[in-house]
Amino acid sequence: MLSALILIGATIGAYRLLLVAPKTVQVGTVASVSPSQSTTMLNASGYVVAQRRAAVASKGTGRLVELKVKEGDPVKKGDVLARLESADVEAALARAEANLNVARSTKEQAETELNEAALLYQRKKDLLDSELIPKADFDAAEARYRRGQAGVASAEAGVRAANAAVRGAQVEVENTYIRAPFNGTILAKNAEIGEVVAPFGSATSAKAAVVSMADMDSLEVEADVSESNIEKVRVGQQCEITLDAYPDLKYAGTVQTIVPTADRAKATIMTKIRFLNRDRRILPEMGAKVAFQSDPQREGGTAKIVAPSGAIVLRKAGKVAFLVRGNRVEERLVELGGPTGSGIEVKKGLSPGDRVVLNPPEDLGAGDKVQVLAK
């Protein structure tokens, strides 16, 4: 009878054990880190920013009559992006060119009169030297010659002024063409055909920038590093960049600039990280995370076994990790070394490739059934 009761109790216990719902956990992997590998010293977050970016506006005021680009179009320096109505400035240019022709004709007339006055002056001078004419006749010829010289000088000044007016009118016509200031890609259209654009949006009803563009080759990550950690960062340091849009992709980078000023409100210093393997998926204003890497050791040393720091917890027996074996966990006592990047060195208790529970709950114990949470 007693044996039967024991058997029934064991059966019920086993049945209840099978009914216990498994605990959902996240797991990480124990890795072997060679001394020649870089490790993460510091993490920071920031955004992808184009170092060459422009809101392209017009130097003149007018109605937009042509827009030659759309978002995403690549453009080269000097390409015409848009055009303003230009009938008035073209008319002013034609008037300036006509005035230039008048000035040139006036100069030719003055030069002709000067040549005639010069010949008369020379004849009168020769006759005066021969005492064949009175001095008054020579004085009149000389005065006419001097007036001719002054007339030519005035006409030449008039030509220069007319040339300057033509160049000014040509500039006004050119200002109706909105050109790309550098090679880049169109990011946004800020005005449409028919709208009035003006320099710096001088009127409330006028648009300032016609398009916004950026040089995609100048994309960098701007990340804020706290003042207490800035000594870990240096120019030329290797980094690993992860974009929020593509969390599974890693981009190599290097510290390009440490901005020589701090943000008083946030107690941070901005760093700029250049991409070493940029591709077309990287876009301005994307969120990014930057892992600043240590310099690899070139010689000596042995590989370290590194576990995620969140996998180590304190229990009665000491510092332990929970290994995942099938659908159950095994409690393993570990001996630790120092921190290594984002993990911690394990001297005893774990092996490379072991799957360990991250941030194990307080009620997790050896033999408990678990369900691994998919990433």
Secondary structure (DSSP) of 69-98: --TT-EE-TT-EEEEE--HHHHHHHHHHHH
Most confidently predicted of 50-64, 97-111, 300-314, 332-346 = 97-111
Q: Average the pLDDT over 145-166 and give the result.
A: 92
Instruction: Examine the pLDDT at 48 and tell me if it is beyond 70.
Output: yes
Instruction: Examine the pLDDT at 13 and tell me if it is beyond 60.
Output: no
Question: pTM of the entire structure?
Answer: 0.60
Which stretch of DSSP H or E encloses residue 122?
helix 87-129
* 3-class secondary-structure state, position 278: coil
Among residues 96, 100, 104, the alpha carbon closest in space to that of 173 is found at 96
The rounded distance, in Å, linking the Cα atoms of 230 and 159 is: 64
| pLDDT digit string, tens, across residues 54-111 | 999 888 788 999 999 999 999 999 999 999 998 899 999 999 999 999 999 999 999 9
- Beta-carbon count within 10 A of 99 CB: 17
Which stretch of DSSP H or E encloses residue 47?
strand 40-50
Backbone angles phi, psi at 366, to 5 degrees: -60, 135
| pLDDT digit string, tens, across residues 226-267 | 999 999 899 999 999 999 999 888 899 999 999 999 999 999
Q: How far is CA 298 from CA 125, 301, 337, in A?
A: 98, 9, 22
Residue corresponding to tokens 């100069």: 107
Q: State the average pLDDT for the chain.
A: 86
Q: CA geometry: angle at 230 spanning 227 and 236, to 5°?
A: 155
Q: Provide the percentage of residues in the chain whose pLDDT is more than 90.
A: 45
